Structure 1
Amino acid sequence: MLGSIKQYVFSGVRGHYKDETNRRIVVVNLFAAVGMSITFLLGTRAFIDAEYPLAITLYTASVVFAFSQRIQVRFPSPKARTLSVSLLIFCLMILTLLLLITGGKDNTGPLWIYLVPPVTMFFAGFVRGLITLIAYTIVSAIVLFGFDESTFVASYTYAFKTRLLYSFLTVSFLSAFYEYSRQKSYDTALYLSEQFERQAKHDHLTQLLNRRGAQQCLEREYAGMLRNNRKLSIAIADIDRFKRINDTLGHEQGDEVLRQISNVFSSRLRAQDVLARWGGEEFMFIFTDTDEAGAVKALEYIKDKLNKAPLNINGSDIHVTSSFGVSEVSADVGISCAIRLADQALYYAKDNGRDCVCAASSLDTQSLAKN
C-alpha cells in the first residue's frame, strides 16, 4: 500500500530534471489526488441528496483532476507539464465559480475560492499567476455584482459579497507576495549554486576549465565517442622556459603571459573543441571528431600563430613558444592511458628542441620508456 502511494506521488519525477521541476511534479500529483478525492466524495454526497447538477459538476471536476495528472506522467515534456498545470488551475477556477454561482451545499460554495490564489501562484508562477488571478477576480466581481439576484440559485447579502471579495484580494496579495519572495530566493540560490559550480570547474586566472572540469569533459566526450563511434584526440601543451619568464618578469607578468597565451590558443580552436588549464603552465586540448593526425595539424597551425604573434606585456613584445604532446583516444586506449601517452610525447618534444608538436604514435617503445 505504502509502495503504491509512493509510486503515485513520485510518478513523473526524473533524475535529470531540476529540483524545482521535480518538486512541482510531486505537488501536481498530490494536488490532483486530493482534488480528485474531495470532488468525488462531495459529488457522491450530492448525488445521494438528489442534487444532481452539483453531483455532475463535482464528478466532472474529479475526472479532470485525474486526467491532468496522467498527462504529465504519460508525456514527460515541458509542454505536457504546462498543459497539466493549466488544466488543474482552469478546473479549479471553473469549479469555484460554479460553486459561487450556485452556492454549493447550504451556500458554503464561496468558501472554496480561497484555494485559488495559492494554487494558481504556485503552479503558474508570479507573473502568469498574477495575470490569471486578476482575470479571475474580475470575473468573480462580475458574478457577484454584475447581475440581478434573481438570476442566481444562491442569494448572498451585499455585506457578504463585499467581504468575500476583500478577503479574497487579501489572500491573493499574500499569495503573490509569498510566490515572488520564493522565486527570488530560489533564483538567488540557483545563481549562487551555478557560480560555485563554475568556480569549482574553472580556472580563476584564465577562465578556462581547470583540471577537474577537463576530466569531466573528457569522460563525457569519451562516452560519446564510444556510443557514436567517433574520433577523439587530446593534447597537452607546456609553455617553453616559463620559469625563466617568471624569474625575469615576475609572477604577476607570468600570469599575464598565461592569460594571453590561453586567448591565443582558444581563438584558434573550433567551437566544438575544448581548451583547459591542466596545471601550472600546462594546457590541455580536447579535439572532438578528430584523429591524431588532425590534432597534430591543428596544433602546428596554433604553434605557428603563437610564433608569429608576440605577446604584449607591459608595453613590450616578448616571443613565447610552446611544446605539444598529442595522443588519440580509442576503445583500446582509454582516457588515463591517452593522457599518459600525450604527457610522454610532450616530454619528448621538450627534450628534442622544444617549440614542436609530437604525436605519441610517432615515438617508438624505447623513446616512451625513456620518458
Structure 2
Amino acid sequence: MLGPIKQYVLSGVNRRYKDETNRRIMVVNLFAAVGMSITFLLGSRAFIDGEYFLSTILFSASVIFALSQRLQVRVATAKARTWSITLLIFCLMALTLLLVITGGKDNTGPLWIYLVPPVTMFFAGFIRGLLALVAYTIACTIVLFGFNEADFVANYSYAFKTRLLYSFATVTFLSAFYEYSRQKSYDTALYLSEQFERQAKHDHLTQLLNRRGAQQCLEREYARMQRNKRHFSIAIADIDRFKSINDSLGHEQGDEVLRQISNIFKTRSRGQDVLARWGGEEFMFIFNDTDEAGAVKALEQIRATLNNAPLNINGNEIYITSSFGVCEVTPDIDTSSAIRLADKALYHAKEHGRNLVCAASTLPCR
C-alpha cells in the first residue's frame, strides 16, 4: 500500500533539481490528491442531495486538481511546473469564490476560503502570492458587498461578512509573514551553502580552483569527451626555483608571487579553459577541446608573457619563469595517466634548463 503512495508523492522529483523545487513538486502532488479527493467526495454528496449545480462545480474542480498534478509530471519542465501551480491556485480560488457566492452547504461555503492564503503563499511565493491574495480579497469584497440584494448570491449577515474578511485578512498577513521569513531563511541557507561549497573547491590564496575543484572539472570534461569524442589536454606548471624565492624573500612574499603569477596565468588563459592551483607552486591548466599541439602553442604564449612581465614585490621588480608539462587526454589515455605523463613532461622540462614547455608525446620513454 505504501509503495504506490510513495511513488505518487515522488512523481516528477529529480535529483538534478534543487531541494526547493523537489519539495514543491511533492507538495503539489499531495495537495492535488487531497483537493481531488475532497472535491470528489463533496461533489458526490451534493449530487446525491440533488444539488446538481454545486456537484458540477465540485466535480470540475476535482478534474482540474488532477490535471494540475499530471501536467507537472508528464511535461516535466520549469514552465510546466509554473503552469501546474498557477492552475492549482486558480482552481482553489475560483472554487472557494464560487462557494462564497452560492453559500455551499447550509451557507458553510465561505469557511473554505481560509485554505487560500497558506496554499497561495507557499506555491506562488511572497510577492506573487501577496498580489494574488489582494486580487482575491477584492473579488470577495465585491461579491459580499457589491451584490447585496442579488438573487444569485447567498444571504449573509453584515456582521458575518465583515468578520469573514477581517479574519481572512489576518490569516493572509500571517501566511505572508511566514512565507517571507521562510524564504529569507532559505535564501540565507542557500547562500551559506554556496559559499561553503565555493570555499571547498577554491584556493584561498589565489582564488583559483583547488585540487578538489580541478578533479571535478577533469571528471566532467572526461565524461564529455567520451560522449562527444572530442579530446582535451592537461598541463601542469611549476614555478622555477620557487624554494629559493621563499628563502630569500620570505613566505609572505612567496605567497604574493603565487598570487601575481596566478593572475598572469588567468588573464592569458582562454575563457573556456580551466586554471587551478594544483598544490604548492604547481598550477594545472585544462584546455577544453584542444589537442596537445594547441595546448603547447597556448602555453608558449603564457610562458612568453610571464617572461616579459616583471612582478612587483615590495616595490622591487623581479622576473620569474615557469616550466610546463602537457599531455592530451584521449580514449587511450585517461585523466590519471595524462596527469602522470604531464608531470613527467614537466620534470623533463626542469631537467633540461627550465622555462620550457614540454609535451608528453616528445618524451623519449613514456
**Corresponding residue for 1:218?**
218
Structure 1 CA distance for aligned equivalents of residues 213 and 151 of structure 2: 69
**Corresponding residue for 1:349?**
349
Structure 2 CA distance for aligned equivalents of residues 258 and 314 of structure 1: 14
Correspondence 1:149-160 to 2 at 5 A: 149-160=149-160
Give the drift of 1:153: 4.0
**Corresponding residue for 1:133?**
133
CA displacement 1:268-300 (0-9 Å, x = unmatched): 111110000000000000001111111111100
CA displacement 1:243-262 (0-9 Å, x = unmatched): 11111111111111111101
Correspondence 1:264-275 to 2 at 5 A: 264-275=264-275
Give the drift of 1:151: 3.2
Unpaired runs of at least 5, structure 1: none
Q: Which moved more, 1:158-167 or 1:310-319?
A: 310-319
Match for 1:24: what amino acid? R
Q: 1:23 and 2:23 equivalent? A: yes
CA displacement 1:45-67 (0-9 Å, x = unmatched): 00000000000000000000000
Structure 1 CA distance for aligned equivalents of residues 327 and 122 of structure 2: 53
Give the drift of 1:152: 3.5
Q: 1:92 and 2:92 equivalent? A: yes
Structure 1 CA distance for aligned equivalents of residues 142 and 95 of structure 2: 16
Match for 1:229: what amino acid? K
2:43–2:56 contact (8 Å) kept in structure 1: yes
Correspondence 1:332-347 to 2 at 5 A: 332-347=332-347
Correspondence 1:30-109 to 2 at 5 A: 30-109=30-109
Q: Could you say what secondary structure the match of 2:327 adopts?
A: strand
CA displacement 1:69-101 (0-9 Å, x = unmatched): 000000111100000000000000000000001
Give the drift of 1:177: 0.3
Structure 2 CA distance for aligned equivalents of residues 151 and 183 of structure 1: 44
**Corresponding residue for 1:173?**
173
Structure 1 CA distance for aligned equivalents of residues 114 and 148 of structure 2: 24
Give the drift of 1:186: 0.4
Structure 1 CA distance for aligned equivalents of residues 314 and 53 of structure 2: 85
**Corresponding residue for 1:198?**
198
Structure 1 CA distance for aligned equivalents of residues 344 and 202 of structure 2: 25
Structure 2 CA distance for aligned equivalents of residues 214 and 148 of structure 1: 71
Q: Could you say what secondary structure the match of 2:56 adopts?
A: helix
CA displacement 1:112-164 (0-9 Å, x = unmatched): 00000000000000000000011111111111111223334411100000000
Match for 2:40: what amino acid? F
Give the drift of 1:197: 0.4
CA displacement 1:224-254 (0-9 Å, x = unmatched): 0111010110000000011111111111111
Match for 2:355: what amino acid? D
Correspondence 1:221-370 to 2 at 5 A: 221-365=221-365, 368=366
**Corresponding residue for 1:113?**
113
Match for 1:347: what amino acid? Y
Structure 2 CA distance for aligned equivalents of residues 312 and 331 of structure 1: 43
CA displacement 1:322-344 (0-9 Å, x = unmatched): 00001111111111110000001
Match for 2:337: what amino acid? C
Match for 2:109: what amino acid? G
Match for 1:147: what amino acid? F
**Corresponding residue for 1:142?**
142
**Corresponding residue for 1:209?**
209
**Corresponding residue for 2:164?**
164
Q: Could you say what secondary structure the match of 2:63 adopts?
A: helix
TM-score (norm 2): 0.99
CA displacement 1:13-61 (0-9 Å, x = unmatched): 0010000000000000000000000000000000000000000000000
Structure 1 CA distance for aligned equivalents of residues 302 and 150 of structure 2: 85
Match for 2:157: what amino acid? T
2:147–2:153 contact (8 Å) kept in structure 1: no
Structure 1 CA distance for aligned equivalents of residues 140 and 154 of structure 2: 14
Q: Could you say what secondary structure the match of 2:285 adopts?
A: strand
Structure 1 CA distance for aligned equivalents of residues 92 and 149 of structure 2: 24
Structure 2 CA distance for aligned equivalents of residues 150 and 288 of structure 1: 72
Unpaired runs of at least 5, structure 2: none
Structure 1 CA distance for aligned equivalents of residues 267 and 148 of structure 2: 74
Q: Could you say what secondary structure the match of 1:271 adopts?
A: coil
TM-score (norm 1): 0.98
2:235–2:325 contact (8 Å) kept in structure 1: yes
Match for 2:2: what amino acid? L
Aligned length: 366
